[in-house]
Structure 1
């Protein structure tokens, strides 16, 4: 089935759409935009190539629980959050599948879940993406620009990484202020068992979904 073309021309225009999908009523993943322009580039011009994801997220697993229940479950060793990472593209043509996919492998495999996100994904590209997912575990999200909360979908689920690669997190945080803020927000969440929508990059129209 042919994919409809979108009028969206910029990856930057997709970030709030992805954020809306992540924080929507059927999910509770707090999104944070990672701006590579805020990186120090201390390793030289190409030293940070494919280091930064476009967006990251914190999934709250015990949403709606009381503080006492969250605290007790934490003491028992239960996880209260999973970390997500996203590489965003407008289109994924067959000719760019491997380049885009391995960019996502490079910058998102540290997380519990890593995803390549796009609006337009050709059928022949999806065939190759399924093969690559079997090998490397990065999933695929198709964004709907007209109704991102309800009509966007996870086309290929990511394979869960049970433990976050904190060494890679440290590498990214040492270069990028946005990612450092993400790590700080995650640490604060584990300390307090709660977080605020004001601390995350959530479009104003989507806050009612939380």
Structure 2
């Protein structure tokens, strides 16, 4: 499911990073159980498509910097294969809990959401808590059996949440102390800014590994 979300993001010039929950410090008694998202999406507000590919517009980047504005947006993504009336509130508030630090919250469900009561409840919660909720409307056979499943996606938006103007840096500082993924996230962003162009996260990691060999 995470791989498919990341593949969909790349088609829209969005850049994705998977968060490895197994390496995160969850503390005692599940204190940090709902602290970390499944995927982080990076969007560049200063991106542009040119002949050489997707680049950062240097003029817009400098303007954003001079105004003290962030040239990027981070979306915290919670992924679910399916959702039911019995468990949707837990799924939803897990997304709310692990996205407080980000510009935007996204709850993505692979299977169709056909229950009208469930859809209305999710829409009400998404509107109240500013969480975007989408369904990819994939049946189980499509999800598990097809390599090019992105072609089968019929995206349905249940709710559209507003984006926050800034990041919660205190929250981010805490998460940086609990998982190296959040350290790597901002190293990745800094690398893109220094180079003046966006990198896929996998390409960034490959560059870092090469640099380690020569230092």
Shared topology, TM-score over 0.5? yes
Query: How far is the alpha carbon of 1:17 from its aligned partner?
Result: 0.9
Is it true that 1:18 corresponds to 2:9 in the alignment?
no
Matches within 5 A, 1:50-199: 50-64=34-48, 65-120=56-111, 121=113, 122-143=115-136, 144=138, 145=143, 146-147=149-150, 151-197=154-200, 198-199=203-204
Q: Deviations over 1:160-181 (max 9, x none)?
A: 1111111111122211112221
Structure 2 unaligned segments of length 5 or more: list them.
49-55, 144-148, 206-215
Distance in 2 between residues matched to 1:162 and 1:178, nearest whole Å: 23
**Superposition CA RMSD, Å:** 2.2
* Dislocated runs of 4+, deviation >4 Å: none
Aligned length: 184
Query: How far is the alpha carbon of 1:138 from its aligned partner?
Result: 1.2
Q: Which has the larger radius of gyration?
A: 2
Q: Deviations over 1:191-210 (max 9, x none)?
A: 4443212127xxxxxxxxxx
Distance in 2 between residues matched to 1:183 and 1:39, nearest whole Å: 17
Q: Give the conservation status (yes or no) of the 8 Å contact 2:127–2:160.
A: no
| Residue 203 (structure 1) aligns with | none
TM-score (norm 1): 0.78
Q: Give the conservation status (yes or no) of the 8 Å contact 2:127–2:161.
A: no
Query: How far is the alpha carbon of 1:61 from its aligned partner?
Result: 1.3
| Residue 29 (structure 1) aligns with | 14
TM-score (norm 2): 0.76
Once structures 1 and 2 are overlaid, which stretch shifts more, 71-80 or 137-146? 71-80
Q: Give the conservation status (yes or no) of the 8 Å contact 1:21–1:152.
A: no
Distance in 1 between residues matched to 2:186 and 2:117, nearest whole Å: 37
| Change in 2 beyond 3 A, CA 1:100/1:81 | same
Query: How far is the alpha carbon of 1:66 from its aligned partner?
Result: 3.7
| Change in 2 beyond 3 A, CA 1:170/1:149 | farther
Q: Deviations over 1:139-171 (max 9, x none)?
A: 112224432696335432122111111111112
